[in-house]
């Protein structure tokens, strides 16, 4: 798996909220950073946001980590973002493209970027959204733009043309990098790498498949037959 970093130019960020897994992944050369969100935290039972974040940052001090605000109100989002940013130099603050009422977070993003806070603007789906956010970002401050290619694909649309256009838009800002977010399969890593996307997030499920990269398809076929056979035996099926 360590050869993945040599095979791919794209940066791979581990997406999750399990501290032990994050620490383990931090030691892997092919993992360049981390992302998490309130939904992932809830799935693993985290109830104290700040304690979890500081535990993570105590273990991972050099690779970038994105932590998300969770308020729906503009003034409170600013307060949360400044607090989160203060936790570490490798912290990027995730700000959603809108709040739950559909109100644009561009003014918040502009304010935070202009005071030097590194941002990860999240939940984007269109080139128009990327264009609007790019105008709000301070070009001297690092940022990520998370376009949810996987969710776009869930609607039956091919995300690749959209991601290519987003890369063209972001070429105007050398400090801003495009994240291929919410991948659905390992192939997405190679697709994102091929178009020159800067970053892709990966879940444990995708990371678990890294050992399959380049596997002979005849071998994979035989392994699949063996899996079906062994599972039938374990189920004690009979006819």
Catalytic residue among 24, 28, 83, 94: 94
Question: What is the CATH classification number for the domain harbouring 145?
Answer: 3.20.20.70
- Tell me whether residue 239 is in a domain: no
Query: Does 220 reside within a domain?
Result: no
pTM to 2 decimal places: 0.94
Domain annotation covers residue 222: no
Roughly how many angstroms between the first and final C-alpha of the chain, as a whole number?
42
Residue 7 and residue 214 in contact, taking contact as beta carbons nearer than 8 Å: no
State mean pLDDT over 201-205: 92
Whether residue 223 lies inside any domain: the answer is: no
- Range 165-172 contact pairs with CB under 8 angstroms and sequence separation of 24 or more: 165/127, 166/127, 166/130, 167/195, 167/196, 167/197, 169/127, 169/130, 169/131, 169/134, 170/130, 170/134, 170/145, 172/134
Task: Examine residue 225 and state whether it is found in any structural domain, yes or no.
Answer: no
Owning domain of residue 163:
4-212
Residue 235 is assigned to a structural domain of this protein: no
Angle at 179 between CA 173 and CA 182, to 5 degrees: 160
Inter-residue contact 207 to 14 (CB < 8 Å):
yes
Q: Are 101 and 125 in contact (CB under 8 A)?
A: no
Please say if the pLDDT value at position 4 is more than 90: no
Q: How confident is the model at residue 6 (pLDDT cuts 50, 70, 90)?
A: confident
Looking at residue 238, its pLDDT comes to 95
Establish if 188 belongs to a structural domain: yes
- Nearest by Cα to 34 from 96, 120, 129: 120
Active site residue 78: no
**What is the per-residue pLDDT across 38-67, written as a single tens digit (0 to 9) for each?**
999 999 999 999 999 999 999 999 999 999
In angstroms, the CA 229 to CA 152 distance is 36
Tally of domains in the chain: 1
Per-residue pLDDT, averaged over 7-25, amounts to: 95
| 197 is a domain residue | yes
**32, 179 contact by CB (below 8 A):** no
């Amino acid at each position: 798996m360590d050869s993945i970093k040599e095979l791919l130019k794209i940066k791979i960020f581990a997406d999750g909220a399990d501290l032990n897994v994050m620490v383990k992944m931090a030691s892997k050369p092919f993992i360049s950073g981390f992302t998490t969100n309130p939904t992932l935290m809830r799935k693993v039972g985290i109830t104290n946001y700040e304690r979890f974040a500081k535990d993570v940052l105590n273990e991972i001090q050099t690779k970038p980590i994105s932590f998300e605000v969770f308020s729906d109100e503009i003034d409170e989002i600013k307060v949360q973002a400044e607090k989160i940013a203060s936790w570490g130099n490798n912290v990027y603050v995730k700000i959603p493209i809108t709040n739950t009422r559909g109100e644009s977070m561009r003014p918040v993003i502009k304010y935070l970027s202009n005071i030097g806070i590194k941002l990860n603007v999240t939940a984007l789906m269109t080139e128009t959204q990327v264009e609007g956010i790019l105008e709000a970002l301070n070009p001297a401050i690092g940022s990520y733009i998370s376009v949810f290619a996987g969710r776009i694909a869930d609607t039956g649309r091919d995300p690749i043309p959209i991601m290519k256009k987003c890369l063209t838009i972001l070429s105007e800002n050398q400090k801003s990098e495009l994240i291929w977010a919410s991948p659905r399969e390992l192939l997405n890593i190679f697709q994102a790498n091929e178009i020159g996307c800067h970053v892709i997030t990966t879940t444990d499920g995708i990371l678990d498949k890294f050992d399959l990269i380049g596997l002979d398809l005849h071998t994979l076929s035989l392994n699949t037959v063996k899996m079906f056979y062994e599972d039938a035996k374990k189920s004690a099926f009979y006819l």
